């Protein structure tokens, strides 16, 4: 299985992002149903390892938080612009959750993530697009801002190759809970751990 941990987007926000699509010849636009904010890419794992990952993520405790998408940018690799993305306003809740996910995955034996966490939503793959068109597009939309969205869960996704694009499937959702709320059963598992205050 090819896995990653991410936040999904509300339909209203995905629709707003989809409204940005177009106007860049050569860009491969991400379908709106595939929009997500990656917390940690895992990659190919055996079924037994996937079970360990699920168990590690299920015991993470974190509070819900608000997230705002704002601004556009470009990623470059080896001198070529390879992705167009929407940025995320700095959010301590997001950074705490990502840190907890990273720690949990290292505890089950995954190698540490070497890249610095740079939260974003990928809108398009742009290896074949003209740099001047991309730069103009970013400048034209750099005041983009989505409504605040409340994040109340994170998900373990699988990635399956499709004919045109990869298909991302949310396999397990892990709810975030307000401080002090201790459910008797958490996603089908008994939860003995109290939440931090």
Tell me the β-bridge partners of 83.
75, 125
Contacts of 4 (CB under 8 A, 6+ apart): 38, 39, 40, 41, 42, 43, 156, 157, 159
Whether 120 is a known active-site residue: answer: yes
CB 166 within 8 A of CB 41: no
Q: Please identify which of the residues 86, 120, 157, 159 carries the catalytic annotation.
A: 120
3-state DSSP percent of the chain in helix, strand and coil, to 5: 25, 35, 40
Contacts of 152 (CB under 8 A, 6+ apart): 64, 175, 176
Apex CA 32: angle with CA 27 and CA 36, to 5°? 100
Q: Please identify which of the residues 6, 24, 36, 172 carries the catalytic annotation.
A: 36
Q: State the helix-helix crossing angle for 47-58 and 92-107, rounded to 10 degrees.
A: 140
- Which residues are known catalytic residues? 36, 120
């Amino acid at each position: 299985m090819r896995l990653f941990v991410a936040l999904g987007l509300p339909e209203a926000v995905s629709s707003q992002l989809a409204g940005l699509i177009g106007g860049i010849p050569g860009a491969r636009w991400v379908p709106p149903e595939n929009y997500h904010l990656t917390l940690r890419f895992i990659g190919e794992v055996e079924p037994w390892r996937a079970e360990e990952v699920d168990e590690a993520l299920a015991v993470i405790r974190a509070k819900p938080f608000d997230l705002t998408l704002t601004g556009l940018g470009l990623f470059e690799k080896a001198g070529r612009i390879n992705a167009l993305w929407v940025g995320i306003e700095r959010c301590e809740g997001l950074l705490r959750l990502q840190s907890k996910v990273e720690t949990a995955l290292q505890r089950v034996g995954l190698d540490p993530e070497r890249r610095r966490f740079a939260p974003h939503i990928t809108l398009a793959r742009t290896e074949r697009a003209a740099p001047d068109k991309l730069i103009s597009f970013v400048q034209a939309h750099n005041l983009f801002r989505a409504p605040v969205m409340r994040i109340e869960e994170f998900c373990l996704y699988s990635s399956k190759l499709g004919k045109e694009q990869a298909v991302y499937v949310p396999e397990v959702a892990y709810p975030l809970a307000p401080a002090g709320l201790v459910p008797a059963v958490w996603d089908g598992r008994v939860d003995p751990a109290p939440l931090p205050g």
